Homo-oligomer: A and B are copies of this chain.
Amino acid sequence: MSANPRVLVVGAGAIGAFYGAILHRGGAQVEVVSRSEAEEINERGFRIHSQDLGDLSFQPAVVYSRVEDITQPPDFVLLSVKVLDDLDRAALIRPAVGPETAIVLVENGVDIERPIKEAFPGNPLVSGLAFVAVSRTGRAQAEHKAYGRLVIGEYPAGTGAACERFAGLLEAGGVSCPVSDDLVTERWRKAVWNAAFNPVSVLAGGATTTTMLDAPGGEAFMVTLMDEVCAVAAAAGHPLDPELPRKAIPGTRKMPPYHNSMALDFLNGRPMEVEAILGNVVRAARENGVAVPHLDSVYAATKMAQQRIAVEGPAA
């Protein structure tokens, strides 16, 4: 690998643009694939404002409109597309993955690494969990509001040279990037909140967390759901602090009222990451013989909400 590693960002939404900008600041040669915004990005780069980090706007070294146009495999492929049923993510990145390319996933959910690992068994696979508030504000444009930490680790476990090198780039760019040797457990820990709060916010009509917790019985219901996720995590070999669900309530209460990503997708009639965030948890429950009647209910109703926006259009 060269001293200036090449990172190809596939999925240049708010998350991809933000981490692309940080990697650029950290010394990487950042290239991006954007089917729909290649022209804007070529002309004026990404415009990214950050309340903490100032102006993060940058011009990628190369902008591709199709992954097929890449001739020289990069050192890293950073994949930050939504995880949706009808998108074959392995097929999407295949033209860019060389024998030495490390694949970095910055995506939500649990068990989302499996199809990528199966497709590229010989490549380092770095799984990443973003703790960041960043929103798209227009074409090739994003606003970074808070946080930024990316926790990474090798999938299915451990760490390695690819993790260390990638973390070094992000840290040099000004963002904390702790390396975990048990990233899958970290995913389950994040899923405790996400698998409960994201889909239920949809069922509540695209509600803020504050609205959800203020409803009669709201806190108890969210704890029940989070307890079920903890039980699945434990059965799947990733035991967590059993008090995590109860501790999550005051932490969530401290956040300002906001619509999470799935609630926003629902309100705007966009596809939601139901399977990555909740469906895979329910499937892990089945595989491990754990009864999750409350998660089952939320899952079934959320698929109806998804059908609703597909057939009847946006709710907002």
Q: A residues near B, CB below 8 A?
A: 200, 202-208, 211-212, 214-218, 220-221, 266, 293-294, 296-301, 303-309, 311-312, 315-316
Contact = CB atoms under 8 A, between A and B. Distances in A.
Contacts of A200: 301, 304
Given A293-B297, A311-B214, A304 B207 contact: yes
B221 A297 contact: yes
10 contacts: A200-B301, A205-B266, A205-B308, A207-B312, A216-B303, A218-B304, A218-B307, A294-B294, A297-B297, A301-B301
A228 B59 CA distance: 58
A208 B206 CA distance: 18
Given A214-B311, A307-B215, A315-B315, A204 B294 contact: no
A91 to B, nearest CB: 23
Contact of A207 (B217, B296, B305): B305
A203 B304 contact: yes
A309 B204 CA distance: 9
Contact of A212 (B208, B215, B217, B307): B307
A220 B297 CA distance: 11
A229 to B, nearest CB: 14
A211 B308 contact: yes
A126 to B, nearest CB: 32
B207 A308 contact: yes
A224 B309 CA distance: 24
A212 B315 contact: no
